[in-house]
Structure 1
Amino acid sequence: MTDRGRYAVDVKVDAVYLPTQSNPTERRYAFAYTVIIRNTGVVDVTLLSRHWVITDAEGRVREVRGEGVIGQQPLIAPGESFKYTSGTVIETPVGTMHGSYRLQASDGVEFDAAIDAFRLADPRTVH
């Protein structure tokens, strides 16, 4: 087995628009996103930190970096997953997010897991 297979996680994200927390007249569009991180490798991994790149429809980019997720640095065993929900606010009804997680395997090896770009969109917006 290669190291790539030894240290592997699969990240899936689903985002939804939050109309009750948004205020379009003030250019405030709120979104919740639910992330499922599945350990597809063969050793325990701990999520150390996150890096998000958030881009709105006008090209404004905001980067968010920090320890763990939602105040946690979860340990994920092989075949297990960790699910959490968080949120973001942008100034346009459409945008994108992508990023990465920094993880540490139980044998001390650190690696990054990419988070593919996903869309943030008010469903009432036609694009």
Structure 2
Amino acid sequence: MVTAITEGIKISVVTIYQEEYSNPDKEHYMFAYQITIENLTDYTIQLMRRQWFIFDSNGSRREVEGEGVVGLQPVINPGDTYSYVSGCNLSSDIGTMSGNYQMYRSADESSFLVDIPEFELIVPYRLN
């Protein structure tokens, strides 16, 4: 698990290789990742946008951005957590992802960025 805290918001990431959805012979590797967002502040926040930077060890880089996560813009109260699972495909068996969330704090009507720590996407046999 990889974890980072930015402005009182804790982001934790766990990844899982999806062998049943992958096809190494066609250079298709599927990974799932679970993100847990924990609000350690005294303020209610809302996740408005996300931005991902995806690096594939074959040299390709992608940037993905958009509203919310998995179709939602969750509100997270003080002390609460929000978790979701999503996925990423690579054309090689090793890669990384990192990024940020744009959060909105209603108490002072401000927006701020929360770092998503870099995490690895590695097919398990590469770890031996």
- Provide the TM-score with structure 1 as the length reference: 0.92
User: Unpaired runs of 5+ in structure 1?
Assistant: 1-6
In the TM superposition, residue 126 of structure 1 has moved relative to its aligned partner by: 4.0
Give the aligned partner of residue 50 of structure 1. 50
Q: What SS does the corresponding residue of 2:35 show, helix, strand or coil?
A: strand
Letter in 1 for 2:16: V
User: Could you tell me whether the CA contact under 8 Å between 1:8 and 1:113 is conserved in 2?
Assistant: no
Q: Percent identity?
A: 36
1:105 aligns with 2:105: yes
Could you tell me how far apart the structure 1 residues matched to 2:68 and 2:58 are? Answer: 29
1:23 aligns with 2:4: no
Give the aligned partner of residue 3 of structure 1. none
Q: What SS does the corresponding residue of 1:15 show, helix, strand or coil?
A: strand
Could you tell me how far apart the structure 2 residues matched to 1:44 and 1:126 are? Answer: 40
Give the aligned partner of residue 14 of structure 2. 14
Map 1:26-105 → 2, pairs under 5 A: 26-105=26-105
Could you tell me how far apart the structure 2 residues matched to 1:75 and 1:126 are? Answer: 37
Letter in 1 for 2:14: D
User: Could you tell me whether the CA contact under 8 Å between 1:28 and 1:89 is conserved in 2?
Assistant: yes
In the TM superposition, residue 23 of structure 1 has moved relative to its aligned partner by: 0.3
- Larger relative strand fraction: 2
Letter in 2 for 1:115: I
Letter in 2 for 1:110: S
Q: Deviations over 1:21-50 (max 9, x none)?
A: 000011100000000000111100000000
Give the aligned partner of residue 115 of structure 2. 114
Could you tell me how far apart the structure 1 residues matched to 2:8 and 2:127 are? Answer: 37
User: Unpaired runs of 5+ in structure 2?
Assistant: 1-6
Could you tell me how far apart the structure 2 residues matched to 1:49 and 1:26 are? Answer: 32
Give the aligned CA root-mean-square deviation in angstroms.
1.1
Moved beyond 6 Å, runs of 4+: none
